[in-house]
Structure 1
Amino acid sequence: MSYTVAVRELCEFTAKEGDLDLRFTPAPTALEGMAGHAVAAARRGEGYRAEVALAGDYKTLRVRGRADGFDPEHARLDEVKTFKGRLDRQPASHRALHWAQARIYGWLLCAQEGLEQIDLALVYFDIASQKETVFTERRTAEELRQHFEAQCERFLAWAEAQVAHRAARDAALTALAFPFGGFRTGQRPLAEAVYKAASAGRCLMAQAPTGIGKTMGTLFPLLKAAPMQRLDKVFFLAAKTSGRQMALDALTRLADSAPALPLRVLEMVARDKSCEHPDKACHGESCPLAQGFYDRLPAARAAALQPRAGSERIPLHQAQVRSAALAHQVCPYYLSQELARWADVVVGDYNYYFDMGGLLHGLAQANGWRTALLVDEAHNLVDRGRKMYTAELRPEGMAQARQSATAARYPAVKKALDKVRRAWVALDKQQASAYAVHETFPEDLLAALQLCGNTLTDHLAEHPAEPDAALQAFYFDALHLVRMAGLLDAHSLVDVTQPTAPGLPKAARAPGSSTLCIRNLVPAPFLAPRWEAAHTSTLFSATLQPQRYYTDLLGLPEDHLAIEVESPFQAAQLSVQVARHISTRYPDRKASLAPIVALMARQFGERPGNYLAFFSSYEYLQQAAALLAEQHPGLPHWSQSRRMLESEQRQFLDRFTETSAGIGFAVLGGAFAEGIDLPGRRLIGAFLATLGLPQVNPVNEQVKERMQALFGEGYDYTYLYPGLQKVVQAAGRVIRTPSDEGVVHLMDDRFGRREVRALLPTWWAPSS
């Protein structure tokens, strides 16, 4: 069995050395890079061949890739690299890596074309000036063959180990048995649907009730399908820490049930949660874990992937990666990124795959991996996708950049920022209302931002040793805005919002104080290529109703499959009460407090235990909690606060025990409204003092107009469906196991409406 590796990945493995150096250096976007390559190719002669597919073998290793160009008349191979800034500041390690790639391509071409020698050219194409700087060398085929084989030999031990691991992994997965005595009700049809979708190479949208074990019900069948479908990687993607932890727990249970299962599970964590030296910059002159990173990486990588004594399985959770990294004095965060190449299952946040620069998607494309996606609590991907493809400039960012030491010291930087500021002020002066929508991004401001971006690119390239956090933050925001302006279509809108808070000083409302935004409303065009890139995908959640809403907004393939798993729970287990005498509409909230508190106190008196009470805002929550404390001082209660730390969230949940009793006040859509598991007596009921409808404001009204124009259901797509999804998720905290019993109080007269009832779980039997 052979192992296939891309030329770039081979050289990344064998030819990188020295420090990890993440000091900012301007880099072309993917589109700029492609355009630069096209310009360089167009300048060559008539017989020039661009994008030459090449492949070659060494022992059990197959190396493949595409050379940027070949001129057969002059026997010259081009390796084109686009860049911004000054080429003379390029680290020597980068040049060495580029030559390594060119020489690999050179041998593959010599072998394919029967050439005895060839000229190799490193072509550095300056995006700004469109000029080329070319470095050439002449090599014989024999020299290139020796170089090729030396690089392959350095990689071969890893490739052979990976082939052996893959064979052992697939054999173990084929024999793997379900780790529990049997499937829960509803879990088997879910597992069967996931397996069939993987076998057919399709995308599956699965709505399955909370509490049936969706995580294991999706992971197990996908792993079982991996050998037959030749899956290289499974990416388990979640919106929240709780979802990632449930996946890790399920994978641990699988491994415990089959101790010899050689499954490499990698947990990807955010940089701010894994950085050992947050006070230091990411380069060798500042951080000791960046110094000599690539020199120590091979040993750290080998140690991390070494099976534990007495076990073939390799857990690469955050703690294990950190331990291996610190033992070899390398950065844990960037070690985990290197390990993603060798893991079988990667558990991480949505952004690792769906973001514009998502690491996992990029690696999959570069290596030609056959991947499978599991998207946990997929209803969250609508909002998260919108945020990924939204760009915003805030006035405080501009102010900090203009007041920075760099702007004061370098006139060209200040001039460029001032030009943006003038265009911004002029735009605000033309705006009569506090909120305005533009059909296109204002041309004068866009031109100023583009010019400013070029100036800052040149400056930052010229002065890499002079970091300026405020200037860089504005620069990145401006670049993202310009990039999204180039992709603007019906999926997004351009809006300008001026501050309107009561009592705001006049100066704060002055021209130039607005927030500029390209607001993505439909992430489908950006997400659709990501579904297509995977062999199979499964999106699962308890709330994917109605299906057309998620299909439209998430860009699912036209031939995607859908399943709604029948609930294992009975209506008798959950008493759903509708409080028609209460209105939680904004004008009625003050009047609603007394009946809400009275209902909560009565329910607690009838059946003491633990309850969650959900409100639409912190203000509403605090008012209800204060009235409860005043009228029922003996009733225990505790409240969610703004921006709770993870430790504070754990303390909130720790109060829900088998023997405790009280009411936890929380915000609908927040940390405690989904992804938490409080079975049995830990939670026996919930109060929903809201329909969860998004606030009616100018932005949402614009969203409604666009949803109406695109899908014909403006109000439902903007307000009703997102609101009821949050309600069902929150109520789903109550019944977690087949033996649970509880009560849910839906406190608003609108819960009695037919269109609202249609979006509630079919197994509920709400009181009329």
Structure 2
Amino acid sequence: MLNGWNTLMLSTALPIQSYLRSIRRQRGLIFRVSPTSVSSMEIDSDLKVATISVGEFARFSPFTQRNDPLGFGNWRAAAGQQWHKEIQNRADSEGFSNEQSIKGDLEWRGWTFRLNGRIDQIRSQKDRTHLREIKTVTTPLPLRPEEVSSRFKSYCIQLLTYRELLNRIEAQPTGSVDLDLFLIELGSGITQSLLLDERFDTLVVDQLDVLADYLDRKLERLSRLRALRFKPAYETPRPGQETIQEDLNQAFERSPIGCLEAPTGYGKTGVAWEFALNRLATGKVERIVYLTSKSTGQIEAAERLDALLTDQSAASYWQIRNKAEHCVNVEFRCSTKTCSYLSDLEEKWGRSALEPMFLSTAKPISIDALKETSAAAGICPYETMRTALGYRDIWIGDYNYLFSANSSRLLANQPDFDPARTFLIIDEAHNLPSRIESNLSKELSALSLNGLIEELSEIGAGHKIHKSLTNLVNECLAYRKGDVLTLRQLDDLTDLLLELINLISTDPMPYESITPEALDTLWSLSSGSTALKESASRYIAWIPQNGLIRITCIDPSQEIRETLTQFKECLMLSATFQPIDGFLEQCGLADQLTPPQQVAPPAPWLEGAYNIAIDTRTDTRFKSRKNGEALTAATIAKLAERHSPIVVFFPSYAYAQSLYEAIAIDYPFYRIAMQRRGKGESLSSRAEFIDEAMRFHDIIFLTLGSSFAEGIDMIGGKIDAAIVVSPALPEVNAIQQAKRDYYQNKRLDGFERAYLQPGIQKVNQALGRLVRAPGQKVKVLLHCQRYAERRTKSLLADQYQNCQYIFKDEDLKRWIEEEPILKT
């Protein structure tokens, strides 16, 4: 039963009608009833109408707030519902009616706020109306009135808003409505009934101003964008760019999704920015989001955008960086328990002067300045960045901000982010399917789960949660290295995960006491488990080592399609969509009613730029690799003797290391620079490595698919010859075999989808970096007989199709010595 503690029951001693009337006269507040209702804020900028629920209106803030961890804690909602039910069961005896819907329009400073909500309890007696809002809280009760208005301001605003709407429907004087905020302490059941008096009235007026200010800034932003002026991507179009803007316009008239395929060096990024900025300036969209797979790609995209925008440009942009880069503490531990910069954010925002910093410049604020200014205000710099995004027209970031369950909340929680009004650019789009596969995959480790059990036991988690985690540990230990779970076993594992997630959501747990590491584990367990249950055939569960279950996604097409089709328009960029039907299949876009349009402009400077030869003398498959090692080493040495420095691409670091050692023994006079494993992820370190390697070495070893092979542009035009050792097909393992079977069951070429396409795509990407401008030329030796196979060769880009064949040593010698002729 509820404890009847209500000693802080306050009466409305002074009528507030005259006070609000004076405010309305000053600020132009008019009310009228309207039938519209929706579940989230929608903004019609032309009519100046914002449709929003009363609860969302009461909670609205242009500044970021910290939510409960992981969104867990449904047990609080369930417990709250039980308390609500018990209070509501008393309604008849107290003369209340439960769950009264209400809708209305509130006009303020030229805006119409179209509101809808549901009053928990309402009682009408003669000339007075009593409104009651029931809220469960974890804060110990009782509280002083000023504490209530500070801690639970949105609850107070919600009640005050109901009164303003009700007064216009019932035509009652403001002073005849009693507002009762009924608080229930969740753990103990202690209650506190607080009647809101005139001291609370300014809350709703202030909240109206907050929302009106935000919407006014939105109008100003859109008006400013209509005056947007920017430079063309290229004053003189490069060859093949003469009609590209019109080509893109025609493509988007036919479909909201376009695929721009053009070789490295064409200028795709600049072309995409110019097209998107035109959409922004003409009002077709209200925001641009540019995503790429590597942080260095974001830097390059920002630099290219900056070159198009003038000093007086009306467009502002922001490059999104991760949490760790924003941290001002010695150790990165993002938790309200350990970081004072995350506490009392609402109060700090109220007294900070950070907002002018967002509005003062169109360009991103440097990370150092952001950290310094935010820390001085006592606010986490990452939270400042989150708030600053809402003031920017263009966002540049990583794929994860759309496609990762953990990171996507950054954009999704922005109050004015609507994909249906946004132009999306996906750079290096050929990497999208594999990245989303990785995001949708997870691991279950018996070691981590045991650690979680120990920590949760220490903070008082229930027996059911302990038992559920133990069942998962036992499942991890039930298999041995190399095992692959059947679909039935995967389904049973998913049931265990869903059981745990349900317990975590419904059983009381002090999340504030859980370490960030444990929260990460909980998040990993919960993320994607429902999708796993609904479409288990798109996953494979296998055992890479004892005590560890790895659940790998083999088909991310559903998630990609559902995300991309939310946007007004989406432009995907790549040098290597080929084959386009395979790419669209992987993205779930092959069967769209309005299929994506491919735009593939000509690149005339590639005519004759590549002198390709296929070396059929060796087989570089793993089982035959050692036998051909001497021939491969000799081939590399011969090419380096004539064309030093040369670049040699390998499918793996281990293969490169093996050849490094072989050449060091048989040809010790050659200086070899080898990309180190895990090194060179920053643009500057990659540039430094390449510069040093080309100046002081004869041979440069790079790994296909790495940031060096796909993201390094400094070698274009600076080398005369390169070798690609092996087609770089993925190793045969449980994952690739599962992919092969999966696509085969869909009546597609499983081997091509699982092995050939990803391997040759890496080759195409690497070769594209060797010629980036007219006049550049290069010899490329494809060193493996598999390149000569029809279906392997057909996947090579068009500019690599015309090639010679090396059958014997004399053919190689003749090819090395001949001079390629560039066509004019």
TM-score tier, shorter chain, comes to: 0.7 to 0.9
Q: Which residue of 1 aligns with 2:710?
A: 674
Q: Which of 305, 328, 349 pairs up with 2:358?
A: 305
* Map of 1:228 onto structure 2: 282
Please give the per-residue CA displacement for 1:425-448, whole angstroms capped at 9, x wherever unaligned: 368658897222224644477347
Deviations 1:500-522 (A, max 9, x none): xxxxxxxxx4xxx24152x3222
- Given the superposition, is the C-alpha separation of residues 422 and 276 from structure 1 closer, same or farther in structure 2, using an over 3 Å criterion? same
**Amino acid across the alignment from 2:320:** M
Mark the CA change 1:191 to 1:73 in structure 2 (over 3 Å): closer, same or farther. farther
The alpha-carbon deviation at position 238 of structure 1 amounts to: 0.8
Aligned partner of 1:767 in structure 2 is 804
> 1:358-507 alignment to 2 at 5 Å?
358-359=408-409, 361-363=411-413, 367-368=417-418, 370-402=421-453, 404=454, 406-407=456-457, 409=458, 416-417=465-466, 419-422=468-471, 424-425=473-474, 429=478, 434-439=483-488, 441-443=490-492, 446-447=495-496, 450-451=499-500, 454=503, 458=507, 460-461=509-510, 464=512, 466-469=513-516, 471-480=518-527, 482-486=529-533, 488-489=534-535, 492-497=538-543, 499=545
- Mapping 1:574-593, distance limit 5 Å: 574-593=610-629
Asked whether the equivalents of residues 103 and 144 of structure 1 are also in contact (C-alpha less than 8 Å), the reply is no
TM superposition shift of 1:348? 0.5
> Does residue 27 in structure 1 map to residue 77 in structure 2?
no
Structure 2 CA distance for partners of 1:79 and 1:440, relative to 1, 3 Å: farther
Q: Is residue 265 of structure 1 aligned with residue 307 of structure 2?
A: no
Q: Distance in 1 between matches of 2:102 and 2:677?
A: 56
Residue 93 of structure 1: CA displacement?
8.8
The structure-2 alpha-carbon separation of the partners of 1:592 and 1:301, relative to structure 1 and needing over 3 Å to count, comes to farther
- Per the TM alignment, residue 566 of structure 1 is displaced from its structure 2 partner at its CA by 3.2
Partner of 1:712: 748
Q: 1:347 aligns with which of 386, 389, 396?
A: 396
- How many Å apart are 1:143 and its aligned residue? 10
Equivalent residue, structure 2, for 1:545? 578
Counterpart of 2:443 in structure 1: which amino acid? Answer: E
Question: Matched residues in 2 for 1:324 and 1:491: separation?
Answer: 50
TM-score, normalization by structure 2: 0.77
Choose from 149, 169, 180 the match for 2:225.
Answer: 169
SS of the residue 2:770 aligns to: coil
1:643-658 paired onto structure 2 within 5 Å = 643-644=678-679, 646=681, 650=685, 653-656=688-691
Q: For the structure 1 residues 109 and 34, does the alpha-carbon distance in structure 2 shift closer, same or farther, using more than 3 Å as the test?
A: farther
Query: Which residue of 251, 258, 261 maps to 1:207?
Result: 261
Q: Aligned residue for 1:529? A: 562
Call closer, same or farther: CA 1:662–1:82 in 2, change over 3 Å: farther
Partner Cα distance (1:121, 1:753) in 2: 79
Cα deviations by residue, 1:293-321 (Å, 9 ceiling, x for unpaired):
4444364542432435xxxx333454553
State which drifts further: 418-427 or 433-442.
418-427
Query: SS of the counterpart of 1:383?
Result: helix
Q: CA deviation at 1:535?
A: 0.8
- Shift of residue 601 of structure 1? 2.0
1:453–1:475 contact (8 Å) kept in structure 2: no
Give how far 1:346 is off. 0.4
Q: Is the contact made by 1:693 and 1:723 (CA closer than 8 Å) also made in structure 2?
A: yes
Distance 1:613 1:273, change over 3 A: farther
CA contact (8 A) 1:15 1:100 kept: no
Letter in 2 for 1:98: S
Matched letter for residue 515 of structure 1: I
Q: Which amino acid aligns with 2:575?
A: A
1:139-178 pair list within 5 angstroms: 147-171=203-227, 173=228, 175-178=229-232
Per-residue Cα deviation, 1:155-201 (whole angstroms, up to 9, x for no partner): 54454344334322321x2x433043122223354433444556677
Provide the TM-score with structure 1 as the length reference. 0.82
Alpha carbon RMSD of aligned pairs, Å? 4.4
CA pair 401-368 structure 1, distance change in 2 beyond 3 A: closer
Measured in 2, the distance between the counterparts of 1:37 and 1:120 equals: 21
| Cα distance, 1:397 vs structure 2 | 1.5
Counterpart residue number, 1:321: 370
The whole-number CA distance in structure 2 between the counterparts of 1:737 and 1:388 is: 35
Q: Please list every run of 5 or more consecutive structure 2 residues that lacks an aligned counterpart in the other structure.
A: 1-44, 92-96, 806-824
Identity, in percent, stands at 19
User: Are the structure 2 counterparts of residues 489 and 285 from structure 1 closer, same or farther at C-alpha, using a change threshold of 3 Å?
Assistant: closer
Larger Rg: 2
Contact 1:242 1:676 in 2 (8 A): no
CA 1:289/1:198 → structure 2, altered by over 3 Å: closer, same or farther?
A: farther
| Residue aligning to 2:36 | none
User: Any gaps of 5 or more consecutive residues in structure 1?
Assistant: 500-508
Match of 2:117, as an amino acid? A
Q: Distance between the aligned counterparts of 2:132 and 2:588, measured in 1?
A: 38
- How big is each residue's C-alpha offset from its partner over 1:361-411, in whole Å with a ceiling of 9 and x where there is no partner? 514686546111100101111011112222331223223334x4554x467
In the alignment, which of 107, 125, 137 is matched to residue 57 of structure 1?
107
Counterpart CA distance in 1 for 2:396 and 2:790 is: 40
Could you list the per-position Cα deviations for residues 73-126 of structure 1 after superposition, in whole angstroms to 9, with x for gaps in the alignment? 98998989999xx67699979952531562475267448745647787889999
Distance in 1 (CA, whole Å) between partners of 2:134 and 2:718 is 62
Indicate if the aligned counterparts of 2:318 and 2:395 stay in contact, CA closer than 8 A.
Answer: yes
What is the rounded CA distance, in whole Å, between the counterparts of 1:36 and 1:549 in structure 2? 50
Which of 321, 324, 328 lines up with 1:276 in the alignment? 328
2 CA distance for matches of 1:381 and 1:33? 37
Provide Cα deviations, 1:551-609, integer angstroms capped at 9, x if missing partner: 22212343133224234232311222211112211111112322222222222221223
Instruction: Quickly say closer, same or farther: Cα 1:108–1:634, change in 2 above 3 A.
Output: farther
Judge conservation of contact 2:620–2:725 (CA < 8 Å) in 1: yes
Structure 1 stretch 467-476 or stretch 351-360: which is displaced more? 467-476
What does the per-residue CA deviation read over 1:669-692, in whole Å, with 9 as the maximum and x for residues that have no partner?
112121222155444443211212
Q: In the alignment, residue 671 of structure 2 is paired with which amino acid?
A: P
* Change beyond 3 A, Cα 1:392–1:545: same
Query: Aligned pairs, how many?
Result: 731
1:289 to 315, 323, 341: 341
